[in-house]
Amino acid sequence: MSNKLKTFTKGFLVENPLLVLSIGLCSSLGVTTSIFNGFGMGISMTFVLLMSEIVISLFKKLIPSAIRLPVFIIIIAAFTTIVQMVLQAYVPALYSALGVFLPLIVVNCIIMGRVEAFASKNSISDSILDALGMGIGYTLVMVAISLIRELFGAGTIMAGTALKVEVIPEAYRIGLFNSAPGGFLVFGIIAAIVQFFKNKKATKLLKEENEKQLAEQKKAEEEIAAKLERIAKAKAEAAAKKATAEAAAKKAEETSKSENSSKAESPKEAE
């Protein structure tokens, strides 16, 4: 996977701002009583994060380090104000539903954390990918929490819009999901499920790594055994050659002695 793709996709799960980093929980638990609200907050956050990262990455070398945080806040506040004005003018129902959580985007830890840790240190293209990835990951989690809370708490889907559908009768709805404890409960369940699959994946990767190491160790042991076998075979061959040479030398020596003895006896016989 290329670095660009990793930068974009890490916000989906690996570094999801809500489920993994656990930042920006205030808005996620405060406005996720309906899909309309959760999706609206997610899009608003994504826009502010994207534009803030673009501007800060573009002018990072011109921002003095001593005043970088106040400058970051001013930039974020400017785009948050734009979002507020647009929603107030064109989507007043969403503007009213988000209430105080909309202006609080200015001090949201997700945006402040990304512009400080990423946008101020990386190129504009990487900052755009980071902002989109984090924004999409944040929005998906917001919609998931909103879907569960709205469905089981209010018994509807897409309340506040023309697409509203009643799914669960009022007698079977669970009012807990409309309250703050219900938000914590849903968030905890989703976070636990994500952590379960992350641990399962990590365990699988660890098992594969261990199996790979064992296979490499076995291969190394087999290579060492084969090398020792070749050495032993070479020693045996050398020993056999040495023994053959010694036997041949001994035989030659005996033959030489025999010939010398025969020559010594021949003059005596002649006398």
Residue 78 has pLDDT above 90, yes or no: yes
- According to the model, what pLDDT value does residue 178 have? 86
Examine residue 40 and state whether it is found in any structural domain, yes or no: yes
Question: What secondary structure letter does DSSP report for 269?
Answer: H
What mean pLDDT value characterizes the chain?
A: 87
The answer to the question of residue 227 being in a domain is: no
- pTM here is 0.76
Residue 53: what pLDDT? Answer: 94
Asked whether the predicted pLDDT for residue 269 surpasses 80, the reply is: no
**216: in domain:** no
Q: Is residue 67 situated within a structural domain?
A: yes
Residue 24 lies in a domain: yes
In tens, the pLDDT along 22-49 reads 888 887 888 888 999 999 999 999 999 9
**238 within some domain:** no
Which residues, in sequence order, are CB contacts of 199 under 8 Å at separation 6+?
A: none
Range of the domain at 90: 3-178
Count: domains in the chain: 1
User: Average pLDDT of 104-113?
Assistant: 88
Within a domain: residue 171?
Answer: yes
Instruction: Convert 15-33 to b/e letters by CB count within 10 Å (16 or more is b).
Output: bbbbbbbebbbebbbbbbb
In the block, tokens 């819009």 appear at 161
196 in a structural domain:
no
Give the pLDDT band (50/70/90) at residue 15: confident
